[in-house]
Amino acid sequence: MYLEQINESADVKKLNVEQLNELAAEMRKALLQKLSKNGGHFGPNLGMVEATIALHYVFNSPTDKIVFDISHQSYSHKMLTGRKEAFLEEAHYRDVSGFTDPKESPHDFFTVGHTSTSVSLACGLAKARDVKGDSENIIAVIGDGSLSGGEALEGLDFAPELNSNLIILVNDNDMSIAENHGGLYQNLKLLRDTKGAAECNLFKAMGLDYLFVEDGHDIEQLINALTQVKDSKKPVVVHICTQKGKGYDFAEKNKEPWHYCGPFDLETGTAAVTMTEEDYSDITVAYLLKKMKEDRTVVGITSGTPAVMGFTEEKRKEAGSQFVDVGIAEEHAVAFASGIAANGGKPVYGVYSSFLQRTYDQLSQDLCIDSNPATIIVYTASVYGMNDVTHLGIFDIPMISNIPSLVYLAPTTKEEYLAMLEWSISQKDHPVAIRVPGGRVVSNGKAVTTDYSEINRYQVTKKGSKVAIIALGTFYELGSRVAEEIAKKTGSEPTLINPVYITGTDDKLLEELKANHDVVVTLEDGILNGGFGEKIARFYGDSEMKVLNYGLKKEFLDRYDVEKLLQENRLTVGQIVEDVMKIQ
Amino acid sequence: MYLEQINESADVKKLNVEQLNELAAEMRKALLQKLSKNGGHFGPNLGMVEATIALHYVFNSPTDKIVFDISHQSYSHKMLTGRKEAFLEEAHYRDVSGFTDPKESPHDFFTVGHTSTSVSLACGLAKARDVKGDSENIIAVIGDGSLSGGEALEGLDFAPELNSNLIILVNDNDMSIAENHGGLYQNLKLLRDTKGAAECNLFKAMGLDYLFVEDGHDIEQLINALTQVKDSKKPVVVHICTQKGKGYDFAEKNKEPWHYCGPFDLETGTAAVTMTEEDYSDITVAYLLKKMKEDRTVVGITSGTPAVMGFTEEKRKEAGSQFVDVGIAEEHAVAFASGIAANGGKPVYGVYSSFLQRTYDQLSQDLCIDSNPATIIVYTASVYGMNDVTHLGIFDIPMISNIPSLVYLAPTTKEEYLAMLEWSISQKDHPVAIRVPGGRVVSNGKAVTTDYSEINRYQVTKKGSKVAIIALGTFYELGSRVAEEIAKKTGSEPTLINPVYITGTDDKLLEELKANHDVVVTLEDGILNGGFGEKIARFYGDSEMKVLNYGLKKEFLDRYDVEKLLQENRLTVGQIVEDVMKIQ
């Protein structure tokens, strides 16, 4: 086995082309094995085996520095840089993350999980090299799907200003997670169709040199091209054509669902676990499709991740022109939504909490200053969301809830979520974001008909005394259990409150609580700093009321265990009750 | 006077070309008059007179909808849409803002002040039109300088997906605020040089139709071109060439300082008021130039606004390759800085608080996850900063201070600022942002040599009892005056604290204060929500300590009066002392 002999770039260089092809076969086999047992980014990794081999054959990592965009295609790179055991031995599968990580290896330069960053980061590495007087090669790898992101386009535009070595490997598999959207993809097609010869060339129009490689799975072609640009004194794009999911028939034929996979049966391609429980994607798409039929001005928007809203290929067809995938372009998505709202349409943009981070300025400037009535659905904004350090959903409350005009709602059940969507789409006064609850869907079957127009009106769901528990969104259930436990222990029923609104305080209610309460507990599913509970603490700052805020510590967590994390943050019923009893 | 007869597009259409040229002369004269007395965006407005006339001649505003990028070139548009008095009569000069504003006129669709948003916003207007079944023209105006911004590039890429009417007027004056930076400007030059005939065309590569207008001050040429694209069924770019500051000799010859002007003498071009006092731009550039000479790995970075860091054309030359203008590309700037730091360089990125909003995700993902030691200088982050609603500097504390790993420092004097810069550039462990104080530079001439490595260590500057005042950054002086006043009134000296660190609490000190204090006052120069003071309130939530948080209400302010605003937010010495006495 060649793979067993490889620990760094130097070892790759010892092999001839035939042996490199053998190596590719071994690597693809290992990838398939691991992915079938462990899940992960399937399509992107299967497509980058040969290109990664060629990169390490031509360049000398880590002196030469390779930066992977999103880095969800870096498994092959990990295999070739001292981490092969994590792909060959099941006991070591979880030794490595699914992304590049400088803590894991000196061959990784950044912890990356968001799209469209590699060119800019690589420009920085190159600039530092130049001011230091060094001369290594800097390589940015970027997929075609990521090219539509503003940061990538800014990076491509800036790169020529360096006027020194930078190699941008554009891995064009003619797919984003779903199909690509954006005018530039017509140009990529033109370049593929003309084998790179077309005069009209996005990269050249950005001031970059350009080289085309027809078969991005042909190691010899790749080596020739990369050798040609090695030590280039100018930024140059190497445009390679690859196939997503290469080497696995099911994935080659059905690319979108095979972008990322859970464990599956290698023979049949069938998922090992089938999700049968309804989730918020199903709930959203069912609601929106119905709404779109009733009202042609309702427009669903995704920025390259339609599945999180439940919009599979089939559902997208059903929605027709009322569903818009803007491609990976979160900034545009928010401004676009604002424009739709400003002209009387009803935009609904669904986005992961972590990717919403791209839109702070658009939320503030393009949407909220004019209070345009767009609806934003924020997914996986929870400790129960994604747990890679690059995909955390625990920062959105401090990020967006302090933007004026925005109404950020925290539903606690399916029915509340639907009522909030209904209200948000129908009203004309506020930009509204809705924080989809984390964990299992809580549903009691009772339709909610609340009119949410009375902004910042909290709901007292159980009237009690002494202790008031304000339990936000996902953590409402936790609050409810804490209330029960306190009642049991003290014989006195606490007040339980569903605050509904993340973006403001119900000053009248908070004031009233002073009459017969002496402790207020806040619970929120996110970091405490800059969040919801601190506003309650500020409100009571000059009073006798004691306030206990519960939520997460401000930190970058990585692949955490939820229960352990909750324990560490004193977020269990027992711990909270213990704290309350201490000051009661 | 033709201008006096014009209240809307329909009135412009009544004039013939000769009369339109007369109108342009009248408008330019009015602009010069007003700008010389009032100041404002000079270059951009002088350059857009003829194009704006042509737009209103060909299209029918507000049915046809024109969206201006940044909208700092919309003065002519205002003149032609019922707001001419604000340009003709000195008493009415301040009736209108310097930007488009839907509250001001139905001809304005968005309140805009940040760059690169017009195409995306216009795409939204167009999409709403299409789903409603309407058929008006939608026009996005965008300057060449704004094209390098990620949001603009995302919008250009998305536009062809609309597959319906959208007219993108690219106003190419071959300048940003300073000179343009980025590879795409080579392509604009090529297009200018070939009169639009070059095959390699950025806009076509993005999938857009394209039309070139050689003289963007020739109303007839403009009308012909716009008539040609009117009612186009596909998105199309009309690329017009104009001159920044057109019609005023001093501005034509010296474009950068004439981008924005204060009041000046029309005859001589001399500013009415000369700033002689040292400001933080001067302090920064002097420090950085010295530092760059000592250490070739120090790299200054701006995203199109070099002047705020003090880097005039002359100073940029002095810095050479150690100063990089990335163009309007804030996202790229942060990722680029992170890359430089990751490869051993010492990046220093200077940016306005308001424009830093573009970089939330880059700060979090590209910089802070890996704790790369970049320095970010945050300017006009103060109630004393810019006061247009689109340029406020009062939101950065909640925005960035809740991002893990970031160390956000609040200097109170020039000397502290310099010490923090020195420390930040020399250390290797933290991404650091420094919040430049607002208002007049406070300097006591005593060099500060603090080592800021002990993160979150507050400084007790006056030891007292009963009341502790934690006064952040710009508001340290206010805190100092409050302390004096309380001492005078009660005979008891309060404790005065310079917290230095915005991003954390000094738990040890806060704990110690409990021993002989019963009130803690926090003061911060920004909104309270999600800010600094709330963290102190949370800390003391379960204790007997009373906490009073002072700062601004969460709201979008517009052209406010500082003193009045401070009064409204109980931010005067008298009000604060009154509140403290009440609970003491």
**CA nearest neighbour of A79 among A48, A36, A112:** A48
Chain A 130-189, CB below 8 Å of chain B: which residues? Answer: 130-133, 148-151, 153-161, 181-187
- 3-state SS class at B40: strand
- In whole angstroms, what is the distance from residue A170 CA to residue B444 CA? 54
Task: Please give the DSSP secondary-structure letter assigned to residue B144.
Answer: G
pLDDT digits (tens, 9 = 90+) for A185-196: 999 999 999 999
Which among A121, A205, A405 has the least Cβ separation from residue B335?
A: A121
Q: How far is CA A362 from the centre of its chain?
A: 18
Q: Which two tokens stand for residue A523?
A: 């619970």
Query: Using an 8 Å Cβ cutoff, are A43 and A175 in contact?
Result: yes
Q: How many residues does chain B have?
A: 584
Q: CA-CA distances (angstroms) from residue B439 to B349, B383, B421?
A: 21, 8, 19
Do the domains at A3-261 and A459-583 have one common CATH topology? yes
- In whole angstroms, what is the distance from residue B515 CA to residue B508 CA? 12
Q: Which residues contact A496 (CB under 8 A, 6 or more apart)?
A: A460, A461, A462, A464, A468, A469, A471, A479, A480, A483
pLDDT digits (tens, 9 = 90+) for B317-344: 999 999 999 999 999 999 999 999 999 9
Q: CA-CA distances (angstroms) from residue B354 to A147, A365, A400, B101, B391?
A: 26, 10, 15, 18, 5
Tell me the torsion sign for CA atoms B467, B468, B472, B476. Answer: positive
Cβ of residue B347 closer than 8 Å to a chain A Cβ: yes
Q: Which two tokens stand for residue A352?
A: 């992961």
Cβ of residue A211 closer than 8 Å to a chain B Cβ: no
pLDDT digits (tens, 9 = 90+) for A355-371: 999 999 999 999 999 99
Mean pLDDT score across all residues of chain A: 97
- Residue B319 phi/psi, 5-degree rounding, is -75, -25
The verdict on pTM exceeding 0.95 is yes
Share in percent of chain B as helix, strand, coil (round to 5): 45, 15, 40
Q: Per-domain residue ranges for chain A?
A: 3-261, 280-435, 459-583
Cβ of residue A364 closer than 8 Å to a chain B Cβ: yes
Strands A495-498 and A459-462: antiparallel
Q: Which two tokens stand for residue A525?
A: 């599913």
Give the number of other CB atoms < 10 A from CB of residue B466.
16
Which helix H or strand E contains A283, and what residues bound it?
A: helix A280-294
With a cut of 90, say whether residue A176 has pLDDT above it: no
Q: Integer distance in angstroms from the first to the last C-alpha of chain B? A: 67
Average pLDDT (A402-423) is 98
Q: How far is CA B473 from the centre of its chain?
A: 20
Query: Using an 8 Å Cβ cutoff, are B24 and B50 in contact?
Result: yes
Q: Among all chains, which residue has been given the structure tokens 């006009």? A: B380
Q: Do B527 and A390 touch (CB under 8 A)?
A: no
Q: Among all chains, which residue has been given the structure tokens 């507050």? A: B458
Average pLDDT (A449-475) is 97
Query: Per residue in B345-360, is it b (16+ CB within 10 Å) or e — as a string?
Result: bbbbbbbbbbbbbbbb
Topology of domain A459-583 in CATH is Rossmann fold (3.40.50)
Q: Do B370 and A102 touch (CB under 8 A)?
A: yes
**CA nearest neighbour of B387 among B191, B130, B82, B94:** B94
3-state secondary structure A332-370: HHHHHHHHHHHCCCEEEEEEEHHHHHHHHHHHHHHHHCC
Q: Which two tokens stand for residue B102?
A: 């839907």
Average pLDDT (A83-91) is 97
Chain B 45-104, CB below 8 Å of chain A: which residues? Answer: 65, 67, 102
Q: Do A340 and B127 touch (CB under 8 A)?
A: yes
- In whole angstroms, what is the distance from residue B169 CA to residue B139 CA? 7
Q: Which two tokens stand for residue A167?
A: 């190699």
Q: Among all chains, which residue has been given the structure tokens 């092969």? A: A84
- In whole angstroms, what is the distance from residue A67 CA to residue B431 CA? 20
Task: Please give the DSSP secondary-structure letter assigned to residue B458.
Answer: -
Q: Do B205 and A184 touch (CB under 8 A)?
A: yes
A325 CB-contact burial (10 Å; exposed 0-12 / middle 13-18 / buried 19+): buried
With a cut of 90, say whether residue A273 has pLDDT above it: no
Give the number of other CB atoms < 10 A from CB of residue B278.
13
- In whole angstroms, what is the distance from residue B489 CA to residue A432 CA? 47
Cβ of residue B535 closer than 8 Å to a chain A Cβ: yes
- In whole angstroms, what is the distance from residue B345 CA to residue B428 CA? 10
In CATH terms, is domain B3-261 a member of 3.40.50.970?
Answer: yes
Helices (H), B357-460: 360-361, 396-400, 414-426
pLDDT digits (tens, 9 = 90+) for A340-359: 999 999 999 999 999 999 99
Give the number of other CB atoms < 10 A from CB of residue A433.
29
Task: Please give the DSSP secondary-structure letter assigned to residue B307.
Answer: G
CA-CA-CA-CA dihedral for A497, A499, A505, A508, to nearest 10: -50
Question: How many CB contacts within 8 angstroms connect chain A with chain B?
Answer: 423
Q: Which two tokens stand for residue B62?
A: 């507000």
Share in percent of chain A as helix, strand, coil (round to 5): 45, 15, 40
Note the pLDDT of residue B176.
87
Task: Please give the DSSP secondary-structure letter assigned to residue A175.
Answer: -
Note the pLDDT of residue A275.
79
Q: What is the ipTM of this complex?
A: 0.98
Chain A 466-485, CB below 8 Å of chain B: which residues? Answer: none
Note the pLDDT of residue B159.
98
More confident residue, A584 or B171: B171
Per-block average pLDDT, block size 10, for chain B (584 residues)? 94 97 98 96 95 98 98 98 97 97 98 98 98 98 98 98 98 91 97 98 98 98 98 98 95 92 94 89 98 98 97 98 98 98 98 98 98 98 97 98 98 98 98 97 92 97 98 98 97 98 98 98 98 98 98 98 98 98 90
CB-side exposure of A334: number of CA atoms within 13 Å?
Answer: 30
Tell me the torsion sign for CA atoms B426, B432, B433, B436. Answer: negative
Query: Residue A271 pairs with which residues in a beta bridge?
Result: A264
Which among A151, A158, A339 has the least Cβ separation from residue B120?
A: A339
Note the pLDDT of residue B177.
87
The strand order across the sheet containing B517-527 reads: B459-462, B495-498, B466-471, B517-527, B546-552
Helices (H), A81-239: 85-88, 118-132, 150-162, 184-193, 202-205, 219-229
- In whole angstroms, what is the distance from residue A95 CA to residue B142 CA? 49
Query: Per residue in B3-22, is it b (16+ CB within 10 Å) or e — as a string?
Result: beebebbebbeebeeeebbe
In CATH terms, is domain A280-435 a member of 3.40.50.970?
Answer: yes
Q: Do A110 and B149 touch (CB under 8 A)?
A: no
Query: Using an 8 Å Cβ cutoff, are A308 and A302 in contact?
Result: yes
**CA-based max dimension of chain A:** 82
Kindly report which listed range (A264-273, A498-507, B488-497, B522-531) carries the lowest average pLDDT score. Answer: A264-273
CA-CA-CA-CA dihedral for B513, B519, B523, B529, to nearest 10: 100
Which among A365, A403, A533 has the least Cβ separation from residue B538?
A: A533
CB-side exposure of B109: number of CA atoms within 13 Å?
Answer: 31
Which among B65, B157, B297 has the least Cβ separation from residue A184?
A: B157
Query: Using an 8 Å Cβ cutoff, are B536 and B520 in contact?
Result: yes
Query: Using an 8 Å Cβ cutoff, are B407 and B455 in contact?
Result: yes
Q: Among all chains, which residue has been given the structure tokens 């998922």? A: A271
Query: Per residue in A482-515, is it b (16+ CB within 10 Å) or e — as a string?
Result: bbbbbbeeeeebbbbbbbbbbbbbbeebbeebee
- In whole angstroms, what is the distance from residue A381 CA to residue A394 CA? 6
Nearest CA-CA distance, residue A120 and chain B, Å: 5
Task: Determine the residue among B336, B386, B456, B578 to mutate to test chain A binding: the one whose Cβ has the most chain A Cβ atoms within 10 Å.
Answer: B336
Does residue B188 come out as left (phi exceeding 0), alpha (psi in the -120 to 50 range) or beta? alpha
Q: Cis bond leading into B62, ω under 30°?
A: yes
Note the pLDDT of residue B131.
98
